[in-house]
A and B are shown apart, each in its own frame.
Chain A
């Protein structure tokens, strides 16, 4: 079974702090070293090391047969990765922005996700598709989207979203070793620091955050297990990615004793952690940056209603992005920030 290292609070060795990019780079380096079948490909990932530097230095270290640039064709990148998986490799393709993943959707949905099933186990697609997602960097409508619900709707795919450098490394290693296709969305707003949603305040670097302490070497965090960010009694917050930090900051600012869950994996979902928390608090706040209608929050809300209805003391609140394209100049009006989250908390706690 998968084991996590001992609690970081007990670490007595010199603390080594990484930002999320460095943690991802290290996970890739470790897996390239451990498994000769791991290969990395994508637009600009080779010599240059990726537009966000996630693959910096990997081609020089592991060679061009293992880490290489690709044509600008997401269909080709995913399609070729499916073929490489059939050969026996363990490809880790990068899609430069989640907004660019759509030309590869048929290869992901109809091919990678279905291959084990349709061939009754003859062939598998052990891909890990890495892609930066989410807004908050003035990326406009084509560099800000959060399309995770498109993938959670697909039987056969797993969807993983880390919220800290420590988790990013451990989850990415698990994803690469997983024999099913994994969509690994990296919240690019928190690549360099744990954004709190107060965009008008100075940015905090990861160095000040406890979860930037990243052990050297190999470790993994199991897929399907949520992280208990904070124990509390007043309400349950269910979030993932950037919004974990935003929701936590708002709760702290308001002095709310929240029980905060960072899902880490959307599919398979840690339903037990959700049930346990809701049974304790009776109040549920679901937060995601993606558009509202048919977002993953709708699934979470339905699951909580189906499974924990008699524990609920207030209607579930969903805080999400609006059902519009991500606007460039009005980015912070779109973003589900402290005002929107604060109002939802007030509604949940008013009785």
Chain B
């Protein structure tokens, strides 16, 4: 027996454990020149029916369309109309304004929690626009851009964030865990990556029924370590499911950099290749590239050519959530030094470069977005804010656990209502 207290007692080299470490910590000078971002327009665009083995290079390169000259380049240029580009820019600006306001609302005590998607707007808005409006999406928690792109009412989002009496989810869910069947938007879980096999199952059902709708799911690079992600990949490959598996690689999972999900060894898109799934690695801050990749994958799925994994290579410009402080674990310079810039600014400059936009209109749009969000917030606040009043009748706490209340929940509901009367009398608490 080897005595573990005496390493090296036998003639074998000592093993060493590798614990990944990000390149930069607080106070460090961030330098991303080691990241190979390739050249816009350089990546080939294979046929949408291509076998994954014929396009393996796309899992390691970076599909880019927008160049430093702000023009669209190469075969991945989706050739969108100026109207579509302006709509895309408008959605991105609105999401940014919304995030600013909701973040502030949390700081003002109007709700418990919020999550911004700053810097990642293109990874949800562009794919949502490339999909059909009735394609089913299974988002993670940072895809508010999908709801904005699909025209979900802002006031319903805010009511949900405030868990107020108009909240369609009856105040049951943590802020931003939206659900809208009407918008083909699946209920957000909060347990990470569970949505991946669900999206595959939905896509399998659609295929089994001979439907034409496809499914798409979003997952962070950190949660690709969950077993659910790998179960999803296996099922998607085995059944040739019409599904798009979007991996948003924003470099950070709370304080853990992408190395803790395996990024030191290979790309996330390359995970797809191992399953025999077509894989694309895309500049996630280039809205045109994001749109083109999603459009390619959607066409592939609709043509019964199977699933696609898309890695959106981007950067989480803000904290994980209102409960996070990134200055405690990463260099404050990273955001500015990120080599792929800001998605809103890049799309704006493209529109200006092609003569379809200008600074004045952009400033006016930003102002309009801010005003719209502000006015809608005021409207939502009339329905109440979190913690100021128990907004929902106590009986609703027991509804929807099952389709019908069994006897034990009826008894517990009676108890809750008795407790309410004991504490507040027959009046509504806090009005």
Contacts and interface: CB of A to CB of B under 8 A. Distances in A.
Contact of A80 (B180, B186, B201): B201
B187 A87 contact: no
B162 interface: no
Interface residues of A, number: 46
Interface stretch (A110-118, A193-201, A310-318): A110-118
Task: Pick from B194, B196, B198 the residue with the most CB of A within 10 Å.
Answer: B198
B205 A75 contact: no
Contacts of B191: 106, 110-111
B181 interface: yes
Contact of B197 (A79, A88, A124, A269): A79
Contact of A156 (B215, B234, B401): B401
Contacts of B400: 116-117, 120-121
B403 A73 contact: no
Given A79-B228, A83-B200, A110-B189, A122 B181 contact: yes
Interface string B175-206: 00101110000110101001011111111111
B231 interface: yes
A107 B408 contact: no
Contacts of A324: none
Given A71-B234, A89-B205, A122-B180, A107 B228 contact: yes
A320 B333 CA distance: 62
B168 interface: yes
A122 B187 contact: yes
A210 interface: no
A96 to B, nearest CB: 16
B429 interface: no
Interface residues of B, number: 44
Interface string B292-332: 00000000000000000000000000000000000000000
A179 interface: yes
A302 to B, nearest CB: 12
B208 A39 contact: yes
Nearest to A93: B201
Given A75-B227, A103-B227, A120 B201 contact: no
A81 interface: yes
A83 B401 CA distance: 19
A155 interface: yes
Interface string A51-73: 00000000000000110001101
A76 interface: yes
A50 interface: no
A80 B198 contact: yes
Contacts of B153: none
A81 B232 CA distance: 12
A222 B234 CA distance: 37
Interface in B200-256: 200-206, 208-209, 215, 227-228, 231-232, 234-235, 238
Contacts of A155: 401
Nearest to A86: B202
Interface string A308-340: 000000000000000000000000000000000
B43 interface: no
A76 B231 contact: yes
A106 B194 contact: yes
Given A83-B197, A122-B187, A73 B234 contact: yes
Contacts of B408: 268-269, 271
Nearest to A121: B400
Nearest to A123: B187
Given A39-B208, A75-B231, A76-B235, A118 B202 contact: no
A118 B187 contact: yes
A87 B200 CA distance: 11
B179 A116 contact: no
A190 to B, nearest CB: 27
Interface in A111-141: 111, 115-124
A28 B189 CA distance: 31
A38 to B, nearest CB: 12
A39 B208 CA distance: 10
Contacts of B194: 79, 106-107, 110-111
A205 interface: no
Contacts of A43: none
Contacts of B235: 70-71, 73, 76, 80
B152 to A, nearest CB: 13
Interface string A187-224: 00000000000000000000000000000000000001
Interface of B: 136, 138, 168-170, 172-173, 177, 179-181, 186-187, 189, 191, 194, 196-206, 208-209, 215, 227-228, 231-232, 234-235, 238, 400-403, 406-408
> Across chains A and B, which 10 residue pairs bring their CB atoms closest together, nearest first?
A79-B197, A83-B201, A80-B201, A76-B231, A268-B406, A83-B198, A87-B205, A119-B187, A83-B202, A119-B179
25 contacts: A66-B208, A71-B231, A71-B235, A76-B234, A79-B200, A79-B201, A79-B228, A82-B201, A83-B197, A83-B201, A83-B204, A86-B136, A89-B205, A106-B194, A107-B228, A118-B177, A118-B187, A118-B189, A119-B187, A120-B172, A121-B400, A123-B181, A123-B187, A268-B406, A268-B407
Given A110-B191, A117-B401, A224-B406, 6 more contacts: A71-B238, A75-B227, A80-B198, A89-B208, A103-B227, A124-B403
Interface of A: 39, 65-66, 70-71, 73, 75-76, 78-84, 86-89, 91, 103, 106-107, 110-111, 115-124, 155-156, 158, 178-180, 224, 267-269, 271
